[in-house]
Amino acid sequence: MGLSIAWQAALDGVSVTVVDPSPGGGASHAAAGMLAPVSEVAYTEEPLLRLGVDSLARWPAFAARLAEATGHDLDLRAEGTLDVAFDADDLAALHELSTFMAKLDLPVERLTGRECRRLEPMLAPSVRGGVLASGDAWIDPRRVVRALLAALSGLGVPVVRRSVAGLDTGDDGVRGVRLAGDESPATIPARQVVLATGAWSGTLAGVPPEVLPPVRPVKGQIMRLRSPVPVLSRCVRGTVRGSAVYLVPRGDGELVLGATQEELGFDTRVTAGGLWELLRDARELMPGITELEVADVVAGLRPGTPDNLPVIGRSALPGLILATGHHRGGVLLAPLTADLVVRLLAGDTTDDHPCSPSRFKDSRT
Ligand code: GLY
């Protein structure tokens, strides 16, 4: 999120510095990169769906510009998501959800088990049926991060690989960012600071507690498998006896299998139980995965908020802009967030956006 904002801001002529001890090492490193507002839709979350659809529409231009600036291949794919069901109850729930999706005018199509296997021959014969969300896409977030760093370097944007000790503030608001450690300079002066520290956004020192966004870590364990050739031609999500899993294919044969959703604070241990859960469900949908090599397992922390919407906008502390709380949709929502934040940096003062931090004001008084 921070790198996307920094890149767009620099393109807009803003003088920007990124401070991050490990750029792209947070949730982006774990994320599968689904650009899937339709298949991720949940009842009661229409505002989030609309943001996702808006940001998805911005991705092709964002990716094309990034690829052109850097020569990097981002593995952006747009063959849609096939959401499949394992048993009769899973299918009933999926059909109910597809009725909700259709009511929202989303492009979805119900398929029989046989039609699902025709699209994806590696699916198990037991798959009962599915729903194709043909507008969904996906991208490789690790490639995006590498490309963003290259683009920032090309524009001469400094990336300071140090931890932040806190915000430097005065009577007039933000004055800069204090760096941790004793190397100099200890403070980077700035009139405006964008807080885009994901699950850690609620913990920045030097900021009054009522200004910090109500963000909590939501752990996700995710596994990368390797196959000599791609085994799926689109993203597959599935529900197996009520439990959700997704499989995201990359052009080079990598298959990403995710993800657990655990409320365990800042715990980032990869556990046997977490991986077992993923493999158990994924194998029911695609038995052939047991033949694939394990390439990588990682646990990341999603920045969750009380209403699952991100927090994007000016905070009550003058000069501090929040761009966090993207929970399950950080990669999807990056282009939209970057555009919104660039407008704020340029002086936009409107505060009627559904992601505005001010929506939490009353719950804190
Ligand atoms: N967007 C998928 C996840 O957060 O696991």
- Domain holding 17: CATH number? 3.50.50.60
- Cβ(329)–Cβ(40) below 8 Å: yes
Q: Is residue 290 assigned to a domain? A: no
Atom index in ligand 1 nearest the CA of residue 259 equals 5
Residue 261 CA: which ligand 1 atom is closest? 5
Mutation probe of ligand 1 site: the residue of 48, 223, 302 with most atoms within 8 A of C-beta: 302
Q: Which atom of ligand 1 is nearest to the CA of 331?
A: 1
Q: Is residue 209 part of a domain?
A: yes
Residue 332 lies in a domain: yes
Per-residue pLDDT, 185: 62
pLDDT 10s digit of each residue in the chain, 365 long? 999 999 999 999 999 999 999 999 999 999 999 999 999 999 999 999 999 999 999 999 999 999 999 999 999 999 999 999 999 999 999 999 999 999 999 999 999 999 999 999 999 999 999 999 999 999 999 999 999 999 999 999 999 999 999 999 999 999 999 999 876 668 999 999 999 999 999 999 999 999 999 999 999 999 999 999 999 999 999 999 999 999 999 999 999 999 999 999 999 999 999 999 999 999 999 999 999 999 999 999 999 999 999 999 999 999 999 999 999 999 999 999 999 999 999 999 888 899 999 999 876 64
Q: Which atom of ligand 1 is closest in space to residue 34's alpha carbon?
A: 1
pLDDT of residue 364: 60
Please name the residue whose Cα sits nearest to atom 4 of ligand 1: 328
Q: What is the 3-state secondary structure (H, E, C) of the chain?
A: CHHHHHHHHHHCCCCCCEECCCCCCCHHHHCCCEECCCCCCCCCCHHHHHHHHHHHHHHHHHHHHHHHHHCCCCCCECCCEEEEECCHHHHHHHHHHHHHHHHCCCCEEEEEHHHHHHHCCCCCCCCCEEEEECCCEECCHHHHHHHHHHHHHHCCCCEECCCEEEEEEECCEEEEEEECCCCCCCEEECCCEEECCHHHHHHCCCCCCCCCCCCEEEEEEEEEEECCCCCCCCEEEEEECCEEEEEEECCCCEEEEECCCECCCCCCCCCHHHHHHHHHHHHHHCHHHHHCEEEEEEEEEEEECCCCCCEEEECCCCCEEEEECCHHHCCCCHHHHHHHHHHHHCCCCCCCCCCCHHHHCHHHC
**Exposure of 19 by Cβ count < 10 A (0-12 exposed, 13-18 middle, 19+ buried)?**
buried
Specify whether the CB–CB gap between 168 and 196 falls below 8 A.
no
Bridge partners of 82?
132, 236
Q: Which pLDDT score is estimated for 184? A: 67
Ligand 1 mean position, distance from CA 41 (Å):
12
pLDDT digits (tens, 9 = 90+) for 208-232: 999 999 999 999 999 999 999 999 9
Give residue 319's domain range.
2-26+143-215+307-364
Buried b (16+ CB within 10 A) or exposed e, 260-278: bebeeeeebeebeebbebb
Q: Are residues 298 and 222 in contact, defined by beta-carbon separation less than 8 angstroms?
A: yes
**pLDDT for residue 352:** 87
325 domain-assigned: yes
Tally of domains within the chain: 1
Site to probe by mutation for ligand 1, drawn from 327, 328, 332 as the one with most ligand atoms within 8 Å of Cβ, is 328
**138 C-alpha vs ligand 1 centroid, how far in Å?**
12
Distance, CA of 125 to CA of 201 (rounded, Å): 45
Please give all residues whose beta carbon lies within 6 A of any atom in ligand 1, as ranges. 32, 34, 220, 258-259, 302, 328
- Is position 62 within any domain? no
Residue pLDDT, tens place only, 231-246:
999 999 999 999 999 9
Would 318 be classed as within a structural domain? yes
Tell me, yes or no, whether 90 lies in a domain: no
Q: With respect to residue 259, please indicate whether it lies within any of the assigned structural domains.
A: no
